[in-house]
Amino acid sequence: MSTELNGKKVLIITANTGIERDELLKPLQALKDMGATVTHATIEGGAAQLFLHDTDKDSRVTSDSKLAGLTASQFDALVIPGGTVNADTLRQDSDAQRLVSEFAKAGKTVAAICHGPWLLIDAGVIEGKTLTSYPSVRTDLLNAKAAGWVDTEVKQCPANGWTLITSRTPDDLPAFNEAIGKSLIAA
């Protein structure tokens, strides 16, 4: 195990269902392998249902915490996995919106993959930023005043004192995980 991220704390937030399995488990494991302490928090706490490709139920995992009561001051980075149902549920949750806003205001790393940038829209943090996402989210991002959308495996955008990292799909997870790790090392 690497120790590059020893002392770094990462929060991964999801709903309790509809989470794209690899977009939760692969960043969680990669960041742990780099030495970070990773907390997975869900809206309700407890069990979370993972899916393969948004349609096929997979395993269930138990989260470490509820979103309510957590603050950006406890962590160094925030990671938002995709999954259509997961992202659509998170974007409507006031605690998820609050956390994204707190991380941005605190100058920390925020990383979202696939449909995860939907939450960034509802948290009001994408105006003037260039992002990537699952292709169907492109129009939503542009309508929410993103500066642009690019079709690339990972996009890191300097964001007025904080770091915004976005990716498109599970195929991009190696680049996504690497970008999060590098951002935390640089912080």
Q: Is residue 1 part of a domain?
A: no
Alpha-carbon distances of 156 from 36, 50, 126, 133, 149, rounded to whole Å: 20, 27, 13, 12, 12
pLDDT at 120 over 70: yes
Secondary structure E strands in 43-150 = 47-52, 56-62, 65-66, 77-80, 109-113, 130-131, 148-149
- Number of domains making up the chain: 1
Q: Is residue 4 part of a domain?
A: no
Q: Is residue 19 part of a domain?
A: yes
Write down the pLDDT at residue 161.
81
pTM: 0.96
- For residue 160, the enclosing domain spans 9-186
Catalytic residue numbers read 114-115
DSSP 108: -
The answer to whether residues 11 and 31 touch, using CB atoms and an 8 Å cutoff, is: no
Torsion of CA 164, 169, 175, 178, to 10 degrees: 60
CATH code assigned at 24: 3.40.50.880
Distance CA 95, CA 97 (A): 5
Per the prediction, the chain carries an average pLDDT of 95
Per-residue pLDDT of 23-76, as tens digits, reads 999 999 999 999 999 999 999 999 999 998 777 888 999 999 999 999 999 999
Distance CA 36, CA 19 (A): 22
Q: Is residue 18 part of a domain?
A: yes
